[in-house]
Structure 1
Amino acid sequence: MAEKRIFCEHCLDDVAYHIENRELTRKLKGKNYTFKGQEAICDNCKKPVFVTKVDSGNRQALYASFKRENNIISVSEIEAVLKKYNIGAKPLSELLGWGINTIPRYLKGDIPKPAYSDLLRKIAVEPAYFLSLLKSGSDILKPVAYEKSLAAAEQLLKETKIDKEVLVSYYLLSKNDEITPLALQKLLYYTQGFSYIFIGEFMFASDCESWVHGPVYRDIYNQFQEFGREPIVLDRTYDISSCFTSQEILLLDSIVQHLSVYNGKVLEKFTHEESPWLSARGDLKEDEPSNKIIDKNGIADFFTRVKEKYDMLTVDDLSAYTKARFENLSF
């Protein structure tokens, strides 16, 4: 094996050298970072010499240390995103509106801006968000690249353990920032009922229980109970409309327009006068707890009769029902 030689600025001559593993400290963006690196040592004077390959490796190790300490996405995480969504580095850069070589540079070790890092991490864990970005930018990618990534994203969304009622909740909350946990429960119940009569099936599979304050979806209650009587504040700001069909979007928007305008106590009174909740409660006292399931057949039957009574033809006809119910309430 040929002896490794390089010019030593101390010896002023071409010399043999060897590599030693060292714990190094370097300054980056005004702060010192310590990392495991290497130094090339002159065999003659025992002083460090500059070797391009060693310097490049140390720079990448320094960048990796910086990323860890500042919670910046790593190269391996970015590679995982590309593999997860079956998309190339340049196409993803284009989709995100960045320079075409932005992500390729990150893969070579360059440090992403914090906002770019956060966005890549968001994409990594939220297939619904990536799918919405992909569909909104369908004209940006080449057809073959788009279809490959679309198939991967849709498959991931199917495999992701996010129940449909959670997505419905996020959609409703994103359209009205005054919805409390109590109101959300009733809006989910009405979504189910009106979905059955206008779409032909319930929008999600979960059952609701006949609690004292009306129909309740327990998992959603647990997720948002910390907000108490206050409006729910979402930490999600992205568009999840791609998770629903056009029919479902029309219905959800009508729920927002005609039902979310009422507060939780009003919606509670609505449900307390309707047969699905009343039948599930049976002879229980008004304040007696119950977790009995409200029968879906009962919900289907009740809302079918509502549709006939109010001559509902489209989802916009929800207004006739809600106005009539509100006018007949006694406070």
Structure 2
Amino acid sequence: MTKDLVFCPECRKKTEHEIKIVKTEYTIKDKKYMFDITTAYCKNCGEEIEIPGLLDLQTKEIDDQYRQMEDIVTIKDIEKLMNLYDIGKAPLSLALGFGEITITRYLKGQVPSKEYSDIVKSALKSPKYMIDKLNENKDKIGETAYQKAIKCAKKLNDMFNVSSKLLSTISYIFEETIELTPLALQKILYFIQGIYMTLYDIPLFKEDCYAWVHGPVYENVYNLFKEFKYNPIDDNRFIILKNRFEVLSNEEKDIINLVLNSFGNYSGKVLEQITHKETPWVESRKGYSLLERSNILITKEQIKTYFKAVHKVYGIDTLEGVNHYINNQININ
């Protein structure tokens, strides 16, 4: 919308205008609603006026607020569903049990019924639900579309073998970082767990890690991202976690941010080298050669004991203390 002069029918000339948010009543399907609508007024006479782009904005405001009030999925929700399962409009319509062009109509702005909206929401929330729908309507959607979608759905479903707290932690890490490899993610999670247990005496997440060749590894997390190998993780699957799992507390986010702002500045290989100098990994790897595979548990007690000792020397509740520790570890031959 422009702030240029616009024509006011009352003043019969171009005038300045101001924007206000006004509560306005509309009736939709015989039900009355109050919407917060952006409205323009002439600064000279105070009458409501039209300005370029305002009608489109008001239409969008009504649509967005109506969907929120009635708990109806948005166009973005449907686009998200298509991206999550790598499925087109027509195959998605058929997979969900709709008519072939139903999703196309929704993407053009038609508001779904509550029944159909709930089906879309269920597919967004539950990969298992989507797997069942795909299998139920496999013959309708075609083999190619089915295989692509079922592969994505099964990968998403695998995520739910990981605790909600760990998934929330990973999701938050993705929100706060630009680029992260699977190797770096594993070490970041390990340091988050270590520092959190040091300061709060309890684990942030329940999963155990193991002493693998390249340092501490959370096996379920490894399975989630092994397809990326040594490349940065680019994974839109974590869209499904938004507003689904419990929100991390401020204390939990503080620890994650502390680790990201310190350990997160280094590559996965550097972080690996640091863990190779730390007691939990070293003790668990006793008796193994450098490149020999092992799956020995690194207990949470081992991790907590080690990092509590580190905390006494460096004060790893502060960025300065953590960076001092990192610099010392990197400089050890």
| TM-score, normalised by the number of residues in structure 2 | 0.53
C-alpha offsets along residues 206-239 of structure 1, whole Å, 9 cap, x if unaligned? 1101100000000000000000100001204576
**Deviation (angstroms), 1:123:** 7.9
Work out whether residues 216 and 275 of structure 2, in 8 Å CA contact, stay in contact via their aligned partners in 1.
yes
Deviations 1:268-292 (A, max 9, x none): 0000000000111111111110001
Q: Determine if contact 2:276/2:282 at 8 Å carries over to the other structure.
A: yes
1:318 maps to a residue whose letter is V
Aligned residue for 2:325?
A: 321
**Equivalents in 1 of 2:123, 2:108: separation in Å?**
15
Aligned counterparts of 2:278 and 2:301: Cα–Cα separation in 1: 14
Residues 92-171 of structure 1 mapped to structure 2, 5 A cutoff: 98-102=63-67, 111-113=105-107, 121=120, 125-126=124-125, 162-163=162-163, 164-171=165-172
CA distance, structure 2, for counterparts of residue 176 and residue 279 of structure 1: 31
1:293 is matched with which residue: 297, 309, 313?
297
Q: CA deviation at 1:316?
A: 5.8
2:249 corresponds to 1:245: yes
Alpha-carbon separation, structure 1, partners of 2:206 and 2:200: 14
In structure 2, the partner of 1:45 is none
Partner of 2:231 in structure 1? 230
In structure 1, stretches of 5+ residues that fail to align are: 1-89, 128-159
Q: Secondary structure at the match of 1:301?
A: helix
Task: List per-residue Cα deviations over 1:37-61 (Å, max 9, x = no partner).
Answer: xxxxxxxxxxxxxxxxxxxxxxxxx
Partner of 1:258: 262
Q: Which residue of 1 aligns with 2:220?
A: 219
Change beyond 3 A, Cα 1:293–1:123: same
CA distance in 2, matches of 1:223, 1:229: 14
Q: Which has the larger radius of gyration?
A: 1
**Stretches of structure 2 lacking an aligned partner (at least 5 in a row):** 1-32, 38-59, 74-101, 127-159
Residue 36 (structure 1) aligns with? none
- Are the structure 2 counterparts of residues 114 and 244 from structure 1 closer, same or farther at C-alpha, using a change threshold of 3 Å? farther
Distance 1:99 1:199, change over 3 A: same
The CA deviation at 1:191 is 0.8
Q: 2:197 corresponds to which residue?
A: 196
| Count of equivalent residues | 205
**Which residues in structure 2 correspond to 1:32-71 (within 5 Å)?**
none
> Which residue of structure 2 aligns with residue 41 of structure 1?
none
- Provide the rounded CA distance (Å) in 2 between the counterparts of 1:105 and 1:202: 36
SS in 1 for 2:211: strand
TM-aligned CA distance change 1:288 to 1:249, over 3 Å: same
Please state whether the residue corresponding to 1:286 is helix, strand or coil: coil
